Structure 1
Amino acid sequence: MTLFYNHYSNDFTIMEKQLNELKNWIESLEFISNEINYFIKFSQEEDDNTDFYTSFTQIKEDNIDFLILLKNYSNSIENSIECIDLDCDAYYLNEHEYYRDQYVDFLRAYNNLKLKTLKKTFELKD
């Protein structure tokens, strides 16, 4: 856990929090990447899971693309410390919010697919 001290500027504190959040997103997506591989392998072995195989293959590609996007974003986030006006600060805050929304949307889609797969596999009813 990162500690923040009173002598840190607001800009530095915000940037550090954003970097920590971004690190967590990337770690989560890397774990999901491994998890997806198991779902793909499982869906290949089951004859009636071709739809799930296709869906997991697509979401794996989306995950890889999103990971690349977030890693590129992490390289640019440190530029936010150099902002000298509110427009610049707002730009970086809005950009971070955009990526947060994309991350949440991706997790929802992935979790929904995973839940559908598990329900069908274990024939659970709503």
Structure 2
Amino acid sequence: MQSNNIYNNDSENQVTQKRSLEELNMWISHINYISEECDYIVKIASNKLKRKDLRDNLLLVIKNKNSLKNTFLEYEKTSENIIECIDLDCDLFYYNEHVKTRGLYKDYVDNYRKLKKEVFLGLLA
């Protein structure tokens, strides 16, 4: 899909697909930023806090980013078929896939925030 602009003559499926793709692109951008930020936080955990366990957990966040990004790209590829939906069961399938993918994103971000908070609390101690 080339454009995410929503037009008056777009079908409900087209609008849904465009919004889902927009949200997905935001998730990808966010996990890329988290991975970049995490590089610095890993160094803090290792060099300043001397917490190998925390460092290793943060490195796992960076490693998991690639797997999650691949999942997002697979979802994006699959979601192109939403336009072909002609019944509620099909719509529900894509809706549930989106909710499942959103859950993966949320879990990833929540885990990262927990580790980041632990680093910051360690710096304050």
- Asked if TM exceeds 0.5, the reply is yes
Aligned to 2:92: 90
Q: Calculate percent identity across the aligned residue pairs.
A: 30
C-alpha contact 2:42 2:58 (8 A) present in aligned 1: yes
Q: 1:27 aligns with which of 22, 25, 29?
A: 29
Aligned to 1:38: 40
Report the Cα distance in structure 1 between the residues aligned to 2:94 and 2:78, rounded to whole angstroms: 9
Q: 1:114 aligns with which of 99, 113, 116?
A: 116
Report the Cα distance in structure 1 between the residues aligned to 2:87 and 2:40, rounded to whole angstroms: 48
Gaps of 5+ in 2: none
Gaps of 5+ in 1: none
Superposed, 1:26-105 pairs within 5 Å as 26-46=28-48, 48-105=50-107
Instruction: Find runs of 4+ consecutive structure 1 residues off by over 4 angstroms.
Output: none
C-alpha contact 2:21 2:76 (8 A) present in aligned 1: yes
User: Secondary structure at the residue paired with 2:117?
Assistant: helix
Report the Cα distance in structure 1 between the residues aligned to 2:49 and 2:8, rounded to whole angstroms: 60
CA-to-partner distance for each residue in 1:69-111, whole Å, 9 max, x for gaps?
1122112211111112211111001000111111112111110
Report the Cα distance in structure 1 between the residues aligned to 2:15 and 2:105, rounded to whole angstroms: 22
TM-score normalised by length of structure 2: 0.89
How far off is 1:43 after superposition? 2.5
Report the Cα distance in structure 2 between the residues aligned to 1:3 and 1:16, rounded to whole angstroms: 7
**58-67 vs 6-15, which moves further:** 58-67
How far off is 1:60 after superposition? 1.4
The structure showing larger relative contact order (alpha-carbon pairs under 8 Å, at least 6 residues apart) is: 2
TM-score normalised by length of structure 1: 0.88
Note closer, same or farther for the CA distance 1:28–1:47 as it changes in structure 2 (3 Å cut): closer
Report the Cα distance in structure 2 between the residues aligned to 1:71 and 1:41, rounded to whole angstroms: 29
How far off is 1:35 after superposition? 0.8
